Amino acid sequence: MPVAMITGGSKGLGRALAGALAAQGWDLVLDARTAGVLEDTAREVRGRFGTRVVAVPGDVTDAAHRADLVAAAGSLGGLDLLVSNASVLGAEPLVRLDALPLEGLRRALETNVVAALGLVQEALPSLRAAEAGAVVVI
């Protein structure tokens, strides 16, 4: 079975992608910051589609967590698809740029850009080893 990793995989687009890939027979590594919601999603996908799903709660801005995600994919046999869906908006509710606190922007850039690149770099050896050629979606 091919293996996909989806960050931000507990709700919204990530959860929908998890269901769609599982329906096609993909095994999954799912990530999100909220452990309970993530495990609920993993349990539902496992039960509904019968695929292997590993839930790894944590924050993608943490290098150790990114390494744990790649290790989880390795435990399923490798990594064929990486969907970097985890994100933050910065200020919530959204504000005009002239009112945006710089710390909110830093957090958004760290999560949405730096962590996404860090995960690609961490996963690159596994992605390169994928038999059918791997895909990265950011």
- pLDDT at residue 103, as a whole number: 87
Report domain extents, the chain: 3-137
Strand 135-137 with 27-32, pairing: unpaired
| HEC sequence for 58-71 | CCCCCHHHHHHHHH
User: Is residue 39 over pLDDT 80?
Assistant: yes
Residue 6's beta-bridge partner residues?
30, 83
pTM of this prediction?
0.90
Digit-coded pLDDT (tens) for 65-123: 999 999 999 999 999 999 999 998 766 677 888 888 888 889 989 999 999 999 999 99
- CA 31, 23, 137 angle in degrees (round to 5)? 45
Q: What pLDDT band is residue 131 in, cutting at 50, 70 and 90?
A: low
Q: Between the CA of residue 55 and those of 15, 16, 38, 51, 123, what are the distances in Å?
A: 12, 15, 7, 13, 17
User: Is residue 27 over pLDDT 80?
Assistant: yes
Q: Which fold has domain 3-137?
A: Rossmann fold (3.40.50)
Where would I find the beta strands (DSSP E) of the chain? 3-7, 27-32, 53-57, 81-84, 135-137
- pLDDT at residue 95, as a whole number: 81
pLDDT mean across residues, the chain: 92
